[in-house]
Amino acid sequence: MRQNEGVSAQSAPELAHVRPLLADAVGLARQALTDLGEGEVGTHLGVTYEDECSATHRFAATLPGYRGWQWAVVLAAAPDSDRVTVSELALLPGPDALIAPDWLPWDERVRAGDLGPGDLLAPRAADPRLVPGYVASGDPEVDELAREVGLGRKQVLSLEGRLDAAERWHDGDYGPDSEMAKAAPSICSLCGFYLPLAGSMRAAFGVCGNEMAADGHVVHAEYGCGAHSDTELPTGAGSPQFDAYDDGAVEVVVLPEPEATPAEPISEPEATAEPAAVEPEVTVEPEVTEIPAAPASTD
């Protein structure tokens, strides 16, 4: 076959190129699959052009576990011949087939975060992130230290390894573009909890020493958080947006008696009028009103 990847169900445009001798040999293709003995053969899905002498007939596969797969039967016929032969049978994934993810070489399957307690993970052979300790690493402080202690470490981080790490840390959760950093009142390099790294990384990275923040993580110098050492609490207690209100205390205020108002002159009643009803005398008691206490001081 020309390829062994997924096949397409759209064959109608290509039908015109397939020689009629090959296009009409559906029965021969189905018989070849039946002879294979892999169970029932589904409906004929079409035929596609391979070249002047060959074409592929496709049938739906009805095998359990192969939803969306198709049987492909390659037929061939010599240019001047009226005899068709079967070249190849294959089971291939169709456009909607359920297929496994792309294969990964074993040494690429371990991802960051996979390492657990007791696991061993050796660096790759000729890992470009590492160079022998006696080779100048390009980091003056590392080179100086290696000289001081003689042989130094067997391997040290190469320039490429340091650039890789710096890029990851910059783009990660503790980099300057993270949501936390954007909302922070100030940056790590101005924070008392910031412990700068040694060597060439010092210019941009340090470790946070605040257990309430990014404790123990490498943070970018321009990262930051609300637990910055210069963070000041708003003055006063409670929410700075509202005054405190004590609803458990009331103040009793005695209002002054209302002043007496002069009596209105009473007009003479007409002779025929009914005597007016006499209103009972009303005594005005001093009114007692409960009003809330004044707002407590928030200082």
CA distances from 70 to 4, 8, 22, 86, 94 (A): 12, 10, 19, 17, 6
**Contact between residue 69 and residue 93 where contact means Cβ atoms under 8 Å apart:** yes
For the bound state, the minimum distance from the C-beta of residue 194 to ligand SF4, rounded and expressed in Å, comes to: 4
Long-range interactions of 286-289: CB distance < 8 A, separation 24+: 286/254, 286/255, 286/257, 287/255, 288/252, 288/253, 288/254, 288/255, 289/253, 289/255
**Contact between residue 33 and residue 71 where contact means Cβ atoms under 8 Å apart:** yes
Query: Cβ closer to ligand SF4: 94 or 224?
Result: 224
For the bound state, the minimum distance from the C-beta of residue 171 to ligand SF4, rounded and expressed in Å, comes to: 17
For ligand SF4, which stretch binds (CB under 6 A), given 128-136, 149-157, 213-221, 291-299?
Answer: 213-221
Query: Cβ closer to ligand SF4: 156 or 184?
Result: 184
For ligand SF4, which stretch binds (CB under 6 A), given 29-37, 106-114, 161-169, 225-233?
Answer: 225-233
Query: Cβ closer to ligand SF4: 72 or 188?
Result: 188
Long-range interactions of 238-245: CB distance < 8 A, separation 24+: 238/298, 243/295, 243/298, 244/295, 244/296, 244/298, 245/292, 245/295, 245/296
Give one word for 39, left, alpha or beta, with left for phi > 0 and alpha for psi -120 to 50.
Answer: left
221 binds ligand SF4 (CB under 6 A): no
218 binds ligand SF4 (CB under 6 A): no
225 binds ligand SF4 (CB under 6 A): yes
Q: Please, what's the largest Cα pairwise distance for the chain?
A: 143
Query: Cβ closer to ligand SF4: 57 or 228?
Result: 228
Nearest Cα to 29, choosing from 12, 14, 41, 19?
41
For the bound state, the minimum distance from the C-beta of residue 236 to ligand SF4, rounded and expressed in Å, comes to: 24
For the bound state, the minimum distance from the C-beta of residue 173 to ligand SF4, rounded and expressed in Å, comes to: 11
For ligand SF4, which stretch binds (CB under 6 A), given 132-140, 218-226, 241-249, 291-299?
Answer: 218-226
Among 18, 92, 219, 221, binds ligand SF4 (CB under 6 A): 219
For the bound state, the minimum distance from the C-beta of residue 169 to ligand SF4, rounded and expressed in Å, comes to: 13
DSSP-derived letter for residue 215 is B
Query: Cβ closer to ligand SF4: 176 or 199?
Result: 176
Site for ligand SF4 in 150-209 (CB under 6 A): 188, 191, 193-194, 208
The residue ranges that bind ligand SF4 (CB under 6 A) are 188, 191, 193-194, 208, 210, 213-214, 219, 223-225, 227-228
